[in-house]
Amino acid sequence: MKIATWNINSVRLRLPLALKFLKEFAPDALCLQEIKATAEQFPTQAFAEAGYIHQAVNGQKAYNGVAILSRLPFVKTEIGDFCREGHARHITATFENDVTLHNFYVPAGGDVPDAGQNAKFDHKLHFLKAMIRHFERQKNRPSVKTVLVGDFNVAPLENDVWNHKQLLDVVSHTPAETRLLGELLAAVQACDVTRHFIPPSQKIYSWWSYRAADWTASDRGRRLDHIWVSPALKDGLVSQAIVKKMRGWQKASDHVPVIAEFKP
């Protein structure tokens, strides 16, 4: 089973890129974040014609929004109550092979890393804590096949950012955020698929800012996009990939897809 996650930053604007990605990499399921469209605005037919006839969309006009596109049928889909602001930031699909796939778009958190001064940062911490509480209730269930993917908007490790010391007080890499993401990883008892294959000593990113005049030359990235699997799936892991070349495609998102393949 091959699963991909991508913050597409507007599904209608980047529909040609999404279709190109699906044709080249052929995941069984693609999870999108920041689709910036309602369910009615979502390009359902175009994805169905590409072979992804099973679709679950939790959309929102102009902002946020998540979706799961699949070649495999769903048994059920659900939307979790993680977001106190009522944003469209989560959707879940369960497949016939008992794999439950959670697609998250964690709030970015604004610019000031102080929950007292910045309501957006407080919202982000609240969202992460809600995720922890949810998965704590499922802890110690070794047979459960759970996959968490999405734009978590947190780069947890030193080599998940271009400069650890300079970014310690920059939202996405602050101790408050990385601590909570570590607690979430423990609650899920998950394996971080990228770091399962790529050692923590090696720098790797999935996001490069639009602000850089030449993103390839500066290479000041962050690893904000993640795929995690529960213990029942860890031994079946086959491969992972971060599709860096897509950051250079015309009209690219500032994020690139992350892919994981495993035997369920």
- Write the pLDDT tens digit of every residue in 32-46: 999 999 999 999 999
Give domain limits for the chain.
2-262
pTM above 0.85, yes or no: yes
Q: What are phi and psi of 222, to 5 degrees?
A: -145, 145
What value does the mean pLDDT take over residues 37-64?
Answer: 97
What is d(CA 94, CA 105) in angstroms, rounded to the nearest whole number? 18
Residues 185, 232, 202, 240, Cα dihedral to 10°: -120
Tell me if the domain spanning 2-262 has CATH number 3.60.10.10. Answer: yes
Residue 219's pLDDT is 95
What value does the mean pLDDT take over residues 94-107?
Answer: 98
pLDDT digits 0-9 by tens, 198-248: 999 999 999 999 998 899 999 999 999 999 999 999 999 999 999 999 999
Residue 23's pLDDT is 98
Residue 141's pLDDT is 80
Residue 193's pLDDT is 98
Residue 40's pLDDT is 97
Residue 172's pLDDT is 98
What value does the mean pLDDT take over residues 6-29?
Answer: 98
What value does the mean pLDDT take over residues 44-63?
Answer: 97
Spell 30-69 as b/e; 16+ CB within 10 A means b. bbbbbbbbebebbbbeebeebebebbbbbbbeeebbbbbb
pLDDT range class, residue 71, cuts 50, 70, 90: very high
pLDDT range class, residue 140, cuts 50, 70, 90: confident
What value does the mean pLDDT take over residues 128-149?
Answer: 91
Mean pLDDT of the chain: 97
What is d(CA 200, CA 182) in angstroms, rounded to the nearest whole number? 14
Residue 179's pLDDT is 98
Name the residue among 30, 69, 24 with its Cα closest to residue 227: 30
Residue 138's pLDDT is 80
What value does the mean pLDDT take over residues 170-189?
Answer: 97
| Token duo for residue 45 | 């037919």
Residue 139's pLDDT is 79
Pick the residue with more confidence: 138 or 197?
197
Tokens 């911490």 appear where? Answer: 125
